[in-house]
Amino acid sequence: MGQTNTLNGAVILIAILFLFLLSIPFIISFNPKLSLIFSSVIYLLLSVFLLFSLLYGFAKFPLLLPFSAQLSKLFGLRSSTSDHITYLTTIPYLKFSYLFDNLSLFFGFLIAFLGFISSLYSFNYLYEEHYKNKSLFVILFNGFIISMLFVVFSANGLSFLIFWEIMSILSFFLVLFEYEKEESKKAANLYIIMTHIGTFFIFLLFLYMFMKTGSFSFEAWKHLGISGGLSVAGMTIIFILTLLGFGMKAGIFPLHVWLPKAHLEAPSSVSALMSGIMIKTAIYMMIRFYFEFMKSYGWGFGFTILLIGALTLIYGVLNAGIQDNIKRLLAYSSMENIGIMLMALGLAMIFYSQGMYLLCAFAMMALLFHIMNHALFKGLLFLGSGAIASQTHTKDMNKLGGLVKKMPAASFIFLIGVLSAATLPPFNGFVSEWMIYQSLLMASSVNIEIIKVFTPIFASVMALAGGLAALAFVKAYGISFLGRARSQGANSAKEPPFLMLVSMGILAFLCFLLGIFSFIGLMPINKVVKEITNISIYKNIAISYGSIVTLPKYSLGIISPVGLLAAGIIFMAAVYLFIKIFGNMKIRIFETFACGLENKDVYNISDSQISKNVCNAGNSNNHEGNNDNTNNDNINAYTKINNAQYSSTGFSQPLRRIFEKMYNVKENLINEEYKRKYFFPVKNYIFKAGDLFECFYNSFASKFLEKISKLRAYIQGGVVQTYIAYIVGTLIILLIWVSWFYHAG
């Protein structure tokens, strides 16, 4: 017992130390660069600490602090002696308790690590984007990361709600950071409304759990599931409230409308955090409720999650494919990946309900591995989109192009993120999605006819989504980085600063490393899975020389990332040698191909002239100098050739035509009246891809507000006698209510 007290005191000391260090970035926020460097170091140390804790447990820490057990008394803290180490304050009713089990350590590690990467990136990004109020950004940014840490470590319903609300409000202000822009205001308002609707359902959920247990403690809620004190109706209520409350934050179908708008308007380092980890705090709580607090339930709950996941997946990827704004494309891709995670969660629930714990553990491992992988490659892609926007001053892919020559290092790093997100081997996104796909195939062993019938359909949906995701990311990379520059910003772009490249490069390296040596990521995840299912799934998966074999008992497939990499290297080397020996290796340099049209040399113009005027095709405003007229005409002609390239809108046109009922697309040809009004007027093609459900919600909200306005006008008629009647009626009701309680007492 003495060693345990010393251990707990040591952990408390470390926690207090980190809290003190985390407060320093706020104190020195008047110097944003220094604050961001300091916070990145702290988040890096914290992520290492949390990963070490997850892998080896707190018992591995050197107990060199004999006085540390007294710290709990000094700070009014007490600790439990269970495996779930919990620290409670002594405040009545509102107990701030913190849970350091493997699940919370895993999510805490992801938050801290992505916080380190985003802080490092923001050091240069804030100044590249010329943001105002940099000190305010630092305060909001660090507060957002710390609030997420408190969310995943909270072990009490009320304290969880407090930190959940802080996280939501701080992310709202970060979405609103460029408050001068009307779109930022609209996105922030929609986000805060939707997230508070979700919080309302979470509050009802926690209130229901309190009514059942008489406590807001997660430990008490866990005993409710173990004791079997929940009826079918009670489990259904918990399931629905959990799905609605946390599903809103996750962006599940059809509660997703805030997600593409908020990610689009937030600073890119914030978007990386929101997409990479914030939306997954909802998945974290779903795992808690469905595997800790409910314990026993029917397969229908898991099937419902599986179905919603499939709908979220296909809707997200279909919308990602038609977007012209690169950040909006990435936001819908995040929705797609949330769908994949929900499918894995639903499968784990089905296996759990049928007592197939080995399959449940495998599906859970696939889920957690994809959560980790998505945090890495989607964080990389959002940071990459920020690098593009900071150098070209646009997020519209139709105004990009040719960046592979202007930003070679950034383009290579971004390509790795694209390959990972498109689930191509040998990168990490492929491995985790392959494991989830294997889990779907394993569901055929469940002795339930509906599961057997629908599992192949869900597998087909996932395969289709993989192809559509590849299409979306081919467009994202090809239109943005290849071809010729379509705007002045793209033509004058240059490499982003060093720390932006370093932060993106770290994520790219991990995407490659976890794709080849996946067991590195599966080792800490196995600790979490073992805690949830009591099965060490790592021992049941044959891993050798980089091969991952699904459960030998089911033998549904083998994949070797190392083998795929080796085969790719051998193939590329063979192609090179073949060309070297039998081909013509004479180097010939040409302009980038543009549909067979002439290059810029025909027009006798220089790159510097193009850089100044490339976005002014057809503009006749700059004709003051007669000597420049010829060059201006030549530049405009050359620019029209660039704009004749395959565009983002044109690339997705077949997809829009096939699935036109799924989209809210607006297309218009507008005459530019000031240019040749009567003879061959210049027309401007306008394309806007909206969200079908956003229109539905807007229509519903407008009708609801109209009804409320009419009701208000009816109630507030401006007649004094009516208001007196309201007062008298209220007094009568209060008297009856007090009298009833008095006699009942």
Q: Which of 316, 306, 253 is nearest to 659 (CA)?
A: 316
Spell out the residues 6+ positions from residue 28 whose beta carbon is closer than 8 angstroms to its own. 34, 35, 38
Residue 98 φ/ψ, nearest 5 degrees: -130, 130
Spell out the residues 6+ positions from residue 446 whose beta carbon is closer than 8 angstroms to its own. 299, 350, 351, 354, 356, 452
C-alpha angle 169-174-176 in degrees, rounded to nearest 5: 95
Alpha helices (H) in 583-643, listed in sequence order: 607-613, 629-643
Interval 330-354: pLDDT, tens: 999 999 999 999 999 999 999 999 9
Other CB atoms within 10 Å distance of the CB of residue 341:
27
The residue-averaged pLDDT of 443-467 equals 89
Spell out the residues 6+ positions from residue 557 whose beta carbon is closer than 8 angstroms to its own. 434, 438, 441, 550
Cα(155)–Cα(96) distance, rounded to whole angstroms?
A: 8
Q: Which residues are 217's β-sheet partners?
A: 156
The answer on pLDDT for 423 being more than 80 is: yes
C-alpha angle 565-571-577 in degrees, rounded to nearest 5: 135
Cα(580)–Cα(251) distance, rounded to whole angstroms?
A: 51
CB–CB of 151/164 below 8 Å?
A: yes
User: Comparing 125 with 85, which gets the higher pLDDT?
Assistant: 125
DSSP state of 65: -
The answer on pLDDT for 226 being more than 70 is: no
Task: Please state, for a pLDDT cut of 90, what percent of the chain lies above it.
Answer: 37
Q: 213-242 b/e with 16+ CB inside 10 Å = b?
A: bebbbbbbbbebbeeeebeeebbebbbbbb
DSSP 3-state of 425: coil
The pLDDT value given to residue 61:
44
User: Comparing 166 with 742, which gets the higher pLDDT?
Assistant: 166
Beta-carbon-side half-sphere exposure of residue 540 (alpha carbons within 13 Å): 20
Cα(591)–Cα(594) distance, rounded to whole angstroms?
A: 9
The pLDDT value given to residue 697:
73
The pLDDT value given to residue 212:
87
The answer on pLDDT for 387 being more than 90 is: yes
The residue-averaged pLDDT of 308-317 equals 94
Cα(346)–Cα(84) distance, rounded to whole angstroms?
A: 25
DSSP state of 399: G
CA distances (Å), origin 517, targets 83, 510, 520 = 30, 10, 6
The answer on pLDDT for 77 being more than 50 is: no
Cα(24)–Cα(107) distance, rounded to whole angstroms?
A: 23
The pLDDT value given to residue 591:
64
The answer on pLDDT for 734 being more than 80 is: yes
C-alpha angle 282-286-289 in degrees, rounded to nearest 5: 140
Cα(350)–Cα(362) distance, rounded to whole angstroms?
A: 12
The pLDDT value given to residue 215:
85
The answer on pLDDT for 379 being more than 50 is: yes
Contacts for 83-87: CB closer than 8 Å, 24+ residues apart: 84/155, 84/219, 85/8, 85/11, 85/58, 86/155, 86/219, 87/12, 87/15
- State the pLDDT confidence band at 103, using cuts at 50, 70 and 90: very high
The pLDDT value given to residue 482:
87
Environment class of 68 (CB within 10 Å of its CB; exposed 0-12, middle 13-18, buried 19+): buried
Cα(241)–Cα(565) distance, rounded to whole angstroms?
A: 45
DSSP state of 487: S
The pLDDT value given to residue 85:
52
Task: Please state, for a pLDDT cut of 70, what percent of the chain lies above it.
Answer: 78
- What average pLDDT is seen over the chain? 81
The answer on pLDDT for 145 being more than 50 is: yes
Interval 564-623: pLDDT, tens: 778 888 888 888 888 777 766 666 666 666 555 545 444 444 444 544 444 444 343 444
The pLDDT value given to residue 63:
36
The pLDDT value given to residue 234:
87
End-to-end Cα separation, the chain, in angstroms: 48
DSSP state of 154: B
The pLDDT value given to residue 691:
75
User: Comparing 381 with 655, which gets the higher pLDDT?
Assistant: 381
Q: pTM for the complete prediction?
A: 0.86
User: Comparing 207 with 691, which gets the higher pLDDT?
Assistant: 207
The answer on pLDDT for 683 being more than 80 is: no
CB–CB of 594/641 below 8 Å?
A: yes
- State the pLDDT confidence band at 72, using cuts at 50, 70 and 90: very low
The answer on pLDDT for 280 being more than 90 is: yes
User: Comparing 710 with 370, which gets the higher pLDDT?
Assistant: 370
User: Comparing 403 with 85, which gets the higher pLDDT?
Assistant: 403
Q: Which residues are 396's β-sheet partners?
A: 325
- What are the boundaries of each domain within the chain? 1-234+250-291, 298-560, 605-690, 693-744
Spell out the residues 6+ positions from residue 618 whose beta carbon is closer than 8 angstroms to its own. 636, 640, 675, 682
DSSP 3-state of 99: strand
CB–CB of 218/157 below 8 Å?
A: yes
Interval 624-657: pLDDT, tens: 444 444 455 544 555 555 666 777 777 788 887 8
| Preceding omega of 25 cis (within 30 degrees of 0) | no
Indicate the range of 23-27, 97-101, 170-174, 685-689 predicted with least confidence: 685-689
DSSP 3-state of 356: coil
The pLDDT value given to residue 113:
96
Please tell me the total number of residues recorded for the chain in this structure: 745
Cα(660)–Cα(667) distance, rounded to whole angstroms?
A: 12
The answer on pLDDT for 81 being more than 70 is: no
User: Comparing 582 with 438, which gets the higher pLDDT?
Assistant: 438
Q: Which helix (H) or strand (E) holds 87?
A: strand 86-88
The residue-averaged pLDDT of 288-306 equals 90
